[in-house]
A and B are shown apart, each in its own frame.
Chain A
Amino acid sequence: MTEKTPYATRPAPDLEWLRSLRNIVLYLARTPTSAFGLLVLVVLVLAAVFCPLIATHDPYLQDLQNTLAPPGGAHYFGTDELGRDIFSRLLYGSRITLTIISLVTIVVGPIGLFVGTVAGYFGGRVDMVMMRLTDIFLSFPSLILSLAFVAALGPSLNNAIIAISLTAWPPIARLARAETMTIRKADYIAAARLQGASPARIIWRSVVPMCLPSVLIRLTLNMATVILTAAGLGFLGLGAQPPMPEWGAMIATGRRYMIDSWWLVTFPGLSILAVSLAFNLLGDGLRDALDPKQMNRR
């Protein structure tokens, strides 16, 4: 017994994790719709990372000799009212979009998960207080509420992110709570309690892993709404401020020239459409990929 070497402790769980990630990606790639979503997102990320290399012009460089030029060889998607290259602006705009999505998700996921699991696990009065708070946030249309927040905080990209985060967590909390309530009576939770695990430990180690798949799916589906809200705020002039190449703001400024110069609004609009569609399709695909029955089959 004493001569036995200790077991290789860590690698196995890590491998398991990597393998399930690979399985999920493979599964998504097999379904055409989610494969499309995945592809658009890969393109988006690549565009954001490599935009200085891909972009043909400086997105902020004005050329008043060459305003409202139609799409062509020199400017793939044409130029806007100040002669800036729309293609390059779209590429740089993907950075802003990604920033918004990732920041909102980083803020919203943990808050929603925390409120939901705590309310669901403890029930009773804690549940009551937390859920009524959630109800208050849910009872406003999210765009109106974010508008109010931005109006109070002052228009800027960061404030738009804060405002969107404040309005996006309640559905996540609801979802996590529902999920928690279905498992809190499970025998493995009872076993954990009998072993002296504190509520915090049970929530973190036992409840959160069970809620995570559905919360991830919901977050992915939410990203489409987040993009649309951010674009909406940008369009109303309350999000990213000029001259930042935010897609919604680009549409807002292009609106005045829309009749004569269709490319000013079309390309940013198509980008918003493609990315939010991609997140929706990916979320749908993830729902199937993260289904426990599917996981077990592999």
Chain B
Amino acid sequence: MKPISIRDMSIRFGAVTVLPKVSFDVAEGECFGLVGESGSGKSTILRCASLLLDTWSGEARIGGTSVREMSPADRCRTLQMVFQDPYGSLHPRHSVRTVLSEPLKIHHFDDHAARLEQAMIDVGLPVAFLDRYPHQLSGGQRQRVAIARALIVEPDVLFLDEPTSALDVSVQAEIINLLVRLQAEKGFTYVMVSHDLAVIDHMCDRFAVMKLGEIVEILPRSAIVGNQATHPYARELIGASLSYENAL
């Protein structure tokens, strides 16, 4: 629904420059992947662009407006994030109903009951689960709740920070199919961080390979199968992933 454009994003923590200068564009309705080894700055990009970290320089525009210039309420209703660990991203003492109705109260939405019900249906959870607490849900169900929480404010852009890496393989597939379905239904723009090239291959149109905070190459999905990357690091990464899959 809204394109994303990131220009010269750079951040440093003390003496360490985590992102030197990162730029990339995501078209509206596209799913864009970020891959790379641990510590290569993938999640940091999402945290910067969502202003969870705000000591960075550069520019991040969503739908033409800089995220820094949006009012907090606008920004929340433009972009939402799904976190890696569904065990840590839901408040242990809040029921699903509380988790989902909080954003409705903050943004003064009407008709809470219907919206809660619709959000649960959207992510494929029984409506009766509204009164459950996180410890009464499985990992996959928790991640669905986390997705529902992101959806309920009707954002245009969803940041997915390794949404499946904490989950079992079969549950991963469910969550990925759910995300694909939601994108088809609502036309979200996704930026997805993942270690798993198979997940990227399944979901993303294009992806960026990152190393030490820099994007070494941006490739289309079709480049995975024949390992058509040109940069040696990207070739190595894709090659390793392919040989791992062949070994299985």
Contacts and interface: CB of A to CB of B under 8 A. Distances in A.
Interface of A: 4, 6-7, 9, 12-13, 16, 186-188, 190-197, 201, 205-206, 209-210, 292, 296
Nearest to B87: A187
Interface string B144-170: 001001000100000000000000000
Interface in B86-106: 88-95, 97-98, 102-103, 106
Contacts of A13: 95, 97-98, 131
B90 A192 contact: no
B72 interface: yes
A6 B92 contact: no
Given A6-B113, A12-B131, A201 B106 contact: yes
Interface of B: 47, 50, 52, 72-73, 75-77, 79-81, 83-85, 88-95, 97-98, 102-103, 106-107, 113, 117, 127, 130-131, 133, 135, 146, 149, 153
A196 B135 contact: no
A7 B130 contact: yes
B90 A196 contact: no
B131 A197 contact: no
Nearest to B130: A7
Given A7-B113, A191-B149, A197 B85 contact: no
Contacts of B106: 195-197, 201
A210 B93 contact: yes
A188 B130 contact: no
Given A193-B52, A205-B94, A209-B93, 17 more contacts: A7-B113, A7-B130, A7-B131, A13-B98, A186-B88, A188-B89, A188-B91, A190-B89, A191-B83, A191-B89, A196-B72, A196-B75, A196-B106, A196-B107, A197-B102, A206-B91, A210-B93
B83 A205 contact: no
A181 B80 CA distance: 24
A195 B113 contact: no
30 contacts: A7-B130, A7-B131, A9-B97, A9-B113, A13-B98, A16-B133, A186-B88, A188-B90, A188-B91, A190-B52, A190-B89, A191-B81, A191-B89, A192-B91, A193-B52, A195-B76, A195-B80, A195-B102, A195-B103, A196-B72, A196-B106, A196-B153, A205-B94, A205-B102, A206-B94, A209-B94, A210-B92, A210-B93, A292-B92, A296-B135
